[in-house]
Structure 1
């Protein structure tokens, strides 16, 4: 049995649903009507929700931040639901499993799933905290970012420090403030930074610029990897307007190939040789092809004078194997190709409580996926690689 009982599975991608009082409990009363807070819908009406419309009905609960409304969409909290009952409809907190928004209750769900530790990404702020980037009042937005991080560090992870890996968010509209927040949270024990997979997708400076040097230097100094979840930059794979959401979701891993290619052909890792990146929810089966293709292109372009951000001395595949970790939920193709990627750079995730999660059967499914993998390789992939990367010992 490759996945032996003594191996403690560590997931590096899960999600917490922020409890209703997260911001109002931490911000002064004068901000309570504008900071994120939960409101009850008292009459039927229609509100815009991204590119679609959501029909809000009396009795629903929604988040309000400044002048926007946003519900907790059903697919963000599907743990325990049959597939036929999963949809995009808004859900109330009393319709969710308590473990989605309560760190103590979450532990029981983790035990049932056979998962020892989790690294939860935010929900309402977006996977990289981009909601506050779009906030109109940047002073309020900064307070919201800090309040979220304090909640993660002082309440969520403090509920079980040996079972939660802390991911913080940044005030990305100001790189100096972002570097300060990295240092502030590092002093409180933060383990990683939820960072956009390609900040240019959010209208922010790209990896090719010097804008992020202070942030990356602070992260490297604190040994905090950048945790990048697909969708964190709001980059959506192109499909026709008539295509179903399933087509978009199936393609989302491509956005991490996008991120990887731009990162390794930028000055980032040359300037910050100890900086690490962990990709979430993109799968790993595509990585060997990406390494091959980037190396092929590098051979042709590395000496072009105009390609001044391409390192002519290091193959992209070598850069990836030194700096970038990739993770998966259920990827037998990728596991078969694990040595083409590097076993030391593979991580596992449970994605609780999202629709891709296999809860409460994550460990049982992993037994099947790892059936032909040596136990010591399994241990690295599901436990010790994460412990080393996140300093989680």
Structure 2
């Protein structure tokens, strides 16, 4: 195994925590115990239920079994696995911390599973706004406890009530008061009735996130719109085990739309301290998209191009981060990272999902990471994340 540069403390910028079955019920106020999300057997299968509606299997949330062996998605997370068939580190914070010590990772950023990567499954299942707000607060309270009890080694990103801009402002402030280090936002708030992210109506939210140093995270698949291809419109001709690979690869490019909307909207001129993160999207598409953003806007809307204080591509350098894990830049990872910006890239493992670098993530990437300049290694493997999340 090739040696990494000295002084690296690895920060994993994308992992997932499977929701425990009692996550909501153990915190529910009196009178809401049966109304908040809970697990029931439906036709013999553990299902998440709220207000009589199911919103997904209460399964493993991952593809790694209790013995640490990785399985195909179709047989595990997408099959019949329950939460107890998967690795305990997928849902138990104490086991997760021991697992991190074993693989040499100091801290991990954490995103949801069953409730939706951006919390969208809750929004689609609940019509009562009071109950919906309570569910989001209960989830975020639980994640704040995980962060505190881990001594900031686990950094769950709280979900936002995307249907309510004022509610997002309040919840972001509340989460910052609990010590949380960012927010998790859906890519398509218009799915729940709000304006799209480029609308100036979101300016109060951006102002709060910038002022409180809360980077806004957009995980791939964090909306119903972005998930429309995954699991619903596979080409029928493809094998059942190939279809998840199609869905997974298709999801990686979703966030290019969020990048476009943010850069063209002028939001960064109005909020120069605002930071955003494209999670689990990889970085290979970024150089082309930066070129395309500049070219297309200048060609099609030259007056708007001139109104912006910077070229669209420059907004990525100053405001965006992206995560990578299996890419090698077709043999020249340093060149790819230089094109994206070594200050804009963070490492991830995606534990415990199908594309995760399991079982030994640092061993799997050490050879290609060792080809990077030492200062680049330090930044992308932990330094950029440590600065963004105020870790040390």
- Fold shared by both chains (TM-score > 0.5): yes
Q: How big is the shift at 1:175?
A: 1.0
CA distance in 2, matches of 1:344, 1:5: 18
CA distance in 1, matches of 2:157, 2:193: 23
> Could you tell me which residue of structure 1 aligns to residue 319 of structure 2?
323
Secondary structure at the aligned position of 2:79 is classed as coil
CA distance in 1, matches of 2:377, 2:210: 28
Deviates more, 1:165-174 or 1:342-351: 165-174
Secondary structure at the aligned position of 1:233 is classed as coil
> Could you tell me which residue of structure 1 aligns to residue 148 of structure 2?
158
Contact 1:2 1:372 in 2 (8 A): no
Which consecutive segments of 4 or more residues in structure 1 shift more than 6 A? none
1:63 aligns with 2:63: no
1:189 aligns with 2:168: no
RMSD over aligned CA atoms reads 2.1
Secondary structure at the aligned position of 2:141 is classed as helix
Aligned ranges for residues 73-152 of structure 1 at < 5 Å? 73-74=59-60, 76-78=62-64, 80-84=68-72, 85-86=75-76, 88-134=78-124, 135-152=126-143
Secondary structure at the aligned position of 2:315 is classed as helix
TM (normalized to structure 2)? Answer: 0.89
Aligned ranges for residues 332-371 of structure 1 at < 5 Å? 332-333=328-329, 335=333, 336-371=335-370
Q: How big is the shift at 1:228?
A: 0.9
Q: How big is the shift at 1:77?
A: 4.5
Q: What are the superposed Cα offsets for residues 13-72 of structure 1, whole Å, 9 maximum, x if unpaired?
A: 11111111111111124222221112234xxx3xxxxxxxxxxxx3x3222122222213
Contact 1:284 1:326 in 2 (8 A): yes
Mark the CA change 1:279 to 1:115 in structure 2 (over 3 Å): closer, same or farther.
same
> Could you tell me which residue of structure 2 aligns to residue 50 of structure 1?
none
CA distance in 2, matches of 1:240, 1:144: 32
CA distance in 2, matches of 1:3, 1:203: 47
Q: How big is the shift at 1:270?
A: 1.6
TM (normalized to structure 1)? Answer: 0.89
Mark the CA change 1:95 to 1:354 in structure 2 (over 3 Å): closer, same or farther.
same
CA distance in 1, matches of 2:370, 2:19: 37
> Could you tell me which residue of structure 1 aligns to residue 170 of structure 2?
180
Q: What are the superposed Cα offsets for residues 239-287 of structure 1, whole Å, 9 maximum, x if unpaired?
A: 6542523212112122111111111111321221110001111110111
Deviates more, 1:228-237 or 1:11-20: 228-237
CA distance in 1, matches of 2:19, 2:262: 31
Q: How big is the shift at 1:186?
A: 0.6
Q: How big is the shift at 1:82?
A: 3.4
CA distance in 2, matches of 1:291, 1:273: 19
Contact 1:149 1:168 in 2 (8 A): yes
1:291 aligns with 2:290: yes
Secondary structure at the aligned position of 2:256 is classed as helix
Aligned ranges for residues 256-335 of structure 1 at < 5 Å? 256-304=255-303, 307=304, 311-333=307-329, 335=333
CA distance in 2, matches of 1:40, 1:178: 33
CA distance in 1, matches of 2:112, 2:306: 33
Contact 2:18 2:61 in 1 (8 A): no
Mark the CA change 1:277 to 1:310 in structure 2 (over 3 Å): closer, same or farther.
farther
Mark the CA change 1:3 to 1:317 in structure 2 (over 3 Å): closer, same or farther.
same
Secondary structure at the aligned position of 1:327 is classed as strand
Q: Structure 1: where are the runs of 5+ without partners?
A: 46-57
Deviates more, 1:18-27 or 1:194-203: 194-203
- 1:229 maps to which of 210, 219, 243: 219
